Structure 1
């Protein structure tokens, strides 16, 4: 499928110059772009490699001199990376899932499927499940009893939606997403060693080792509209109430959200982040890769936690955090700088000690 330069520019809301009737069949990096492909050189740093490829058209930056770069046409967005989202949407070939219901799919008679739902090979849709119109249930997916999936949702292969999970419209789940498993919630008959250590910050006291008894999850998971989840990410059921994820939140690969957690709207949770049970995360929060949030804490709106940050206590809204234990990024940077200076400081102190020692002996 091909598009003209003019069609692409219109789709992304950008201006186009030159031979706007040129056809584009795909995109490529500047050095490897072939004729018929649009080079993506959206920063001046990448423009020099255009001559290594054979592209006749490129997406550049606003005000770029595309003629001087030897091009026949150019698209010039005022926010190139945002325009890239539109280009990729236009050119995405999808996963090739066919419309209709595959004969090997197992759909309970009490399930309800909206208009235009696609169900792939060996998928299972359980009793009472409701699948919104225009949704795609990929191969080997499972939708549990009384689960609800909003219209226009897309489940790639091997996605599992547990019983009574409720999901809003336009949900996207990549391969291996798992929703609605029981929470990691266990208790002992008497005060446990873990509880003692937590109360005393280390001393286990007289608490004895005991077997763990599971607390069953009576809640489920509720997810808002326009949420996306990456490969291998998981969300546990709530113990009594549902674990919740707000509208527009995007969750990367291998992210785990514990039982009873509440994630706000338009959050960004990057790869391998973990949210402890019963923690509340505000709106527009960004958790970098491998960020860990302890259980039973509150993260305010618009908080940003840099990669690898471990948050052990409440964070007020608007803070930018870094480190373990997490502190404000500016303070953490100063601590890091001080640590780097520590070896020199110790050498200087040792040298001063020698001088003082010699002076004492002379006296």
Structure 2
């Protein structure tokens, strides 16, 4: 859904200096080379982009401190650190893909799993036995969460994510499409010294024989801290 904001509202969020008419309303962020209409909020923090505003219908711009703004602009906001402003602006205008409140009827929740009352579990997702899903966490459709996994508050798991058993995930962690966390970190060993081991140990290079491979399983689990983004 398109978000409509006034320049006064945006200036308050940015903590920038508003000049002109604060009631001017904008609907989208735009690069000066991608202006589509008078409802665009143009990001012109680089003074070299100012010439692109000439003869455009744009009424509102974000500029660097002490920039000269064309007289045709009805409202401008001057900011100090442009990338900090960009972080706040993109958060304002981001179009979030919503997952309906609650647990979708097609989701599978195994025995002993604990789901926070305000968590959201999308269609065809699987939550393993004794897993814990924290407050406000959003799990999109078709996600696998293994047994005894812990997901902290405010998490966001996109479709296709696979979380192996016993993985511990902190607060506000974002995991993007199809990421796999907690797969078995296996390795192999041979009963007798292999040709590779012999070469490393004493420099011997010879004809190798077929050796039985013994698998070494990984008994640990992954721990992810707070405020991590993966994918």
Matches of 1:196 and 1:36, distance apart in 2: 71
- Kindly state the Cα deviation for residue 27 of structure 1 after the two structures are TM-superposed: 0.5
Matches of 2:157 and 2:113, distance apart in 1: 17
Secondary structure at the counterpart of residue 39 of structure 1: strand
The 8 Å contact of residues 29 and 43 in structure 2, kept in 1 or not, is answered as yes
Instruction: Report the counterpart of residue 180 of structure 1 in structure 2.
Output: 182
Instruction: Report the counterpart of residue 47 of structure 2 in structure 1.
Output: 44
The 8 Å contact of residues 128 and 146 in structure 1, kept in 2 or not, is answered as yes
Matches of 2:201 and 2:45, distance apart in 1: 54
Gaps of 5+ in 2: none
- Kindly state the Cα deviation for residue 49 of structure 1 after the two structures are TM-superposed: 1.4
| 2:62 is equivalent to residue 64 of structure 1 | no
The 8 Å contact of residues 66 and 73 in structure 1, kept in 2 or not, is answered as no
Give the alignment's TM-score, normalised by structure 1: 0.59
Mapping 1:234-273, distance limit 5 Å: none
The 8 Å contact of residues 32 and 52 in structure 2, kept in 1 or not, is answered as yes
Query: RMSD of the alignment, in Å?
Result: 1.8
Matches of 1:133 and 1:77, distance apart in 2: 35
The 8 Å contact of residues 190 and 212 in structure 2, kept in 1 or not, is answered as yes
Instruction: Report the counterpart of residue 7 of structure 1 in structure 2.
Output: 9
Matches of 1:189 and 1:182, distance apart in 2: 22
Instruction: Report the counterpart of residue 82 of structure 1 in structure 2.
Output: 84
Relative contact order: is structure 1 or structure 2 higher (C-alpha 8 Å, sep ≥ 6)? 2
Instruction: Report the counterpart of residue 225 of structure 1 in structure 2.
Output: 226
Matches of 2:53 and 2:186, distance apart in 1: 53
Secondary structure at the counterpart of residue 31 of structure 1: helix
Secondary structure at the counterpart of residue 181 of structure 1: coil
- Kindly state the Cα deviation for residue 38 of structure 1 after the two structures are TM-superposed: 0.4
CA deviation vs aligned residue, 1:206-263 (integer Å, no higher than 9, x gap):
4725343321010000010000011xxxxxxxxxxxxxxxxxxxxxxxxxxxxxxxxx
Gaps of 5+ in 1: 231-363
Instruction: Report the counterpart of residue 108 of structure 1 in structure 2.
Output: 110
Secondary structure at the counterpart of residue 60 of structure 1: strand
- Kindly state the Cα deviation for residue 31 of structure 1 after the two structures are TM-superposed: 2.3
The 8 Å contact of residues 126 and 144 in structure 1, kept in 2 or not, is answered as yes
Matches of 2:107 and 2:177, distance apart in 1: 18
Instruction: Report the counterpart of residue 156 of structure 2 in structure 1.
Output: 154
Matches of 2:122 and 2:143, distance apart in 1: 8
- Counting matched residue pairs gives 227
